[in-house]
Amino acid sequence: MPGIPPERQSAAVSVLKDWPHICLGIIPCLNEAAAIGPLVRAVREHLPHVCVVDDGSLDGTAALAQQAGAHVICLSVTQGKGIALQKGWDYARQQGFRWALMLDGDGQHCPGDIPAFFETAEKVHAALVIGDRMATARQNMPRLRRWVNSWMSRRISKSAGMVLPDTQSGFRLLDLEALASLSIAAKHYEIESDLVLQMARSGLRIEFVPIRVIYAGERSKINPLTDSIRWLRWWTKSMCR
């Protein structure tokens, strides 16, 4: 190990986290049969333990995820991404994991970027590492999605008092001990914003890492009207806290 005296090398190595054993991959999904199998297998190349939370799918997503080696939590009816993530976090803590790595189930996120999350968490001691699509994949992002993401990120950045370039990205590495100090109640897509803002207000370290994004014509599960109203309701409440 260049630059470190031989007598100190073993101590330096011991500081590094054993990510495959302390981190659980969590994939919340709804009707993602086309992508879930390959996605689980790709994630398991970096994290052997993967939990898929099937939010009431009707297309065989759960069975395909299980075949690919994931532990599957099945919700009988669709309850929302926020609920699915919280089910995954609860399971991670029950199993003794200290960290959770979240990816969307549509195959948009590239599992090959996972090591960069670990490296960033190690380097800056962040409690939350977020995949930043705006740094590398901005031009590939659908125009409306890019505009909405930028608008929301600016609002949250101003409230948090720091620059948060991509607050809506679902590709994240989270310290579960830090999460336990928060009160996350969001049930739907606004959970991405709620987690970031609460962590920022609590003084917890948030870092961003550039990621690749794969847009293959998949249809977003976000309902432009319903989910916008939910986000605005969340935003109004959060400004009153």
CB atoms closer than 10 angstroms to residue 132: 19
pLDDT at 20 (0 to 100): 97
Report whether pLDDT(59) > 70.
yes
Bridge partners of 52?
A: 27, 72
Q: What share of the chain is helix, strand, coil (3-state, %, to 5)?
A: 45, 15, 40
Domains of the chain and CATH, by start? 18-239 (3.90.550.10)
Report whether pLDDT(173) > 50.
yes
**Average pLDDT of the residues of the chain:** 86
pLDDT at 215 (0 to 100): 67
Confidence category of residue 12, pLDDT binned at 50, 70, 90:
very low
pLDDT at 3 (0 to 100): 38
What's the predicted TM-score (pTM) here? 0.85
Burial of 154 (0-12, 13-18, 19+ CB in 10 A): middle
157 or 29: which leads in pLDDT = 29
